[in-house]
């Protein structure tokens, strides 16, 4: 992570938030997936009998192993599990399907998958909100800042588990739009908030330093 922070100033000078997100976005997504697995996965794992769990777990693991070598195939496997798995596995599989599509270079299909999950009221809120967050963060490079700000505001202004990441995304969107003042305000709030995860606070601090040095 230290190398990433040292590059932040250079990235801000070149493409501001777009390239910056490309640098450390995967770390944010990795943290998000771990939180989802911890918050939701185990609870859903307990809700079905052992045979169902074993079969769906095997399918999930097979798709996960395929991800590194063939993201497109992994996306197809996760998509199939999302269609006929139980609620817990279906939601996790949808998230992984979208992540695999990103790896396969099909960002448009990934965004559609995230949005579909975010709009599915049958899915627990923790998964829907994460899907909404990821749908926005993957479009910081190319999306309209006004639209992205509107989409992320609901998560950024609640007390849900994704609030700090949503606030960070808001700051990146503001930087992409050229609004350094708004970005600075958001980042300062994050650094001052005791509930902000340490790694995220470190990123916010580095971003503030980079903005100040411009």
**Which fold, 2-213?**
1.25.40
22 — pLDDT class (breaks 50, 70, 90): low
Least confident of 52-56, 153-157, 200-204: 52-56
Q: Helix, strand, or coil here: 112?
A: helix
pLDDT of res. 136: 93
12 — pLDDT class (breaks 50, 70, 90): very low
Residue 87 and residue 40 in contact, taking contact as beta carbons nearer than 8 Å: no
- Mean pLDDT, residues 25-42 taken together: 47
What whole-number distance in Å separates Cα of residue 177 and Cα of residue 188? 18
What whole-number distance in Å separates Cα of residue 148 and Cα of residue 154? 11
pTM recorded for the entire structure: 0.72
Radius of gyration for the alpha carbons in the chain, expressed in angstroms and rounded? 18
Give the DSSP H or E segment for 1: none
Res. 11: pLDDT tops 50: no
Res. 97: pLDDT tops 60: yes
């Amino acid at each position: 992570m230290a190398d990433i922070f040292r590059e932040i100033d250079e990235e801000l000078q070149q493409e501001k938030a777009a390239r910056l997100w490309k640098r450390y976005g995967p770390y944010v997504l990795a943290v998000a997936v771990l939180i989802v697995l911890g918050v939701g996965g185990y609870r859903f794992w307990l809700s079905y009998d052992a045979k169902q769990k074993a079969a769906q777990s095997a399918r999930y693991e097979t798709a996960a192993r395929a991800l590194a070598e063939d993201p497109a195939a992994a996306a197809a496997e996760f998509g199939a599990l999302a269609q006929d798995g139980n609620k817990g596995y279906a939601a996790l599989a949808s998230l992984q399907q979208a992540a695999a599509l990103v790896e396969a270079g099909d960002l448009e299909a990934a965004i559609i998958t995230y949005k579909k999950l975010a709009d599915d009221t049958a899915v627990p809120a923790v998964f829907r909100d994460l899907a909404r967050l990821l749908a926005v963060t993957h479009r910081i490079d190319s999306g309209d800042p006004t639209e992205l700000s509107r989409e992320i505001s609901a998560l950024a202004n609640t007390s849900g588990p994704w609030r700090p990441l949503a606030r960070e995304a808001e700051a990146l969107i503001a930087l992409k739009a050229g609004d350094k003042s708004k970005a600075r305000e958001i980042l300062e709030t994050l650094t001052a908030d005791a509930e902000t995860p340490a790694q995220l606070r470190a990123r916010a601090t580095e971003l503030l330093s980079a903005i100040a040095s411009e």
